[in-house]
């Protein structure tokens, strides 16, 4: 999380990263983009190491007792949910566009690291729940009609990210609207990707997601269940 550090702290992180790689027999990355960044950053150390991809995974037990509480939604509206931090990598302008749509409510659960809440609260369609307990995250997701991945395309962290929340959304079979980050490429057929400049297609994308064919829910779940921690750990350890 070096994006939160001072320049002095970033240098310390780099030093510790390099040392950690040096003393390791294997180095695991959650995604190809992150791997490429580190191969470029520490090529002289990584060249002699075994490198592989071990993706993010979910704890299926946390999702085992999901129930519809209608606690994190507004009746009579299209509920669009985002669980995660409001930070520099989040497309706040996209959120504002959603908040400007009369029949939609944007539900947000997570901390505000960049002080945008005051501005977002000017919109009557915002429902902000703050940082919720981890055990409530599945219920929050389950209450949404559509889930959101609002990552900025001009942010290095967004470009390298492999968002765990995508798998969580999929596991609960939710339609997902996302900006066109690289992590989406492998599941574009299961995600509603914003393609137009400045996200001007957001209203039509919401409509498509809300009225989608039910078959996509099963396809998302089948994809997500391959990313349960037990399966990922087993695959990773077989090849150690």
Which pLDDT belongs to residue 106?
98
DSSP for 121-177 reads: TTSTTEEE--S--GGGHHHHHHT-SEEEE-B-TT-HHHHH---HHHHHHHHTT--EE
Which pLDDT belongs to residue 198?
84
Number of neighbours of residue 235 by Cβ within 10 angstroms: 13
DSSP code, position 78: E
List, by residue range, all CATH 3.40.50.2000 domains of the chain: 78-225
Which pLDDT belongs to residue 5?
67
Does the pTM exceed 0.85? yes
Q: Which fold has domain 78-225?
A: Rossmann fold (3.40.50)
Which pLDDT belongs to residue 61?
87
Tokens 């002080």 — which residue?
A: 115
DSSP code, position 53: E
Which pLDDT belongs to residue 196?
79
**162 with 182: CB under 8 angstroms?**
no
The encoded tokens of residue 171 equal 């596991």
Which pLDDT belongs to residue 4?
61
Local confidence pLDDT in tens for the 240 residues of the chain: 555 667 888 888 889 999 999 999 999 999 898 899 899 989 999 989 999 999 999 998 888 888 777 789 999 999 999 999 999 999 999 999 999 999 999 999 999 999 999 999 999 999 999 999 998 999 999 999 999 999 999 988 888 888 999 999 999 999 999 999 999 999 999 999 998 778 889 999 999 999 999 999 999 999 999 999 999 999 888 876
Pairing of strands 192-193, 176-178: parallel
Which pLDDT belongs to residue 118?
95
**141 with 81: CB under 8 angstroms?**
yes
* Kind plus residue range of the DSSP H or E element containing 21: helix 7-23
């Amino acid at each position: 999380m070096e994006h939160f550090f001072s320049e002095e702290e970033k240098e310390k992180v780099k030093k510790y990263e390099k040392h950690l790689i040096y003393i390791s027999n294997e180095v695991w990355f959650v995604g190809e983009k992150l791997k490429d960044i580190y191969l470029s950053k520490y090529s002289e150390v990584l060249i002699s190491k075994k490198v592989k991809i071990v993706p993010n995974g979910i704890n299926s037990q946390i999702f085992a007792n999901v129930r519809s509480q209608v606690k994190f939604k507004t009746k009579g509206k299209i509920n669009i949910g985002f669980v995660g931090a409001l930070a520099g990598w989040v497309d706040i302008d996209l959120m504002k566009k959603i908040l400007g749509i009369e029949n939609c409510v944007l539900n947000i659960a997570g901390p505000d690291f960049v002080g945008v809440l005051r501005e977002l609260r000017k919109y009557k369609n915002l429902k902000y729940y703050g940082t919720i307990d981890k055990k409530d995250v599945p219920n929050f997701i389950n209450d949404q009609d559509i889930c959101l991945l609002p990552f900025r395309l001009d942010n290095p962290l967004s470009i390298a990210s492999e968002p765990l929340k995508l798998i969580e959304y999929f596991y609960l079979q939710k339609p997902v609207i996302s900006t066109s980050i690289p992590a989406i490429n492998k599941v574009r057929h299961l995600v509603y990707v914003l393609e137009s400049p400045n996200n001007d297609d957001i209203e039509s994308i919401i409509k498509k997601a809300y009225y989608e064919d039910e078959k996509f829910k099963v396809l998302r779940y089948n994809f997500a269940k391959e990313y349960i921690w037990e399966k990922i750990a087993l695959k990773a350890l077989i090849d150690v």
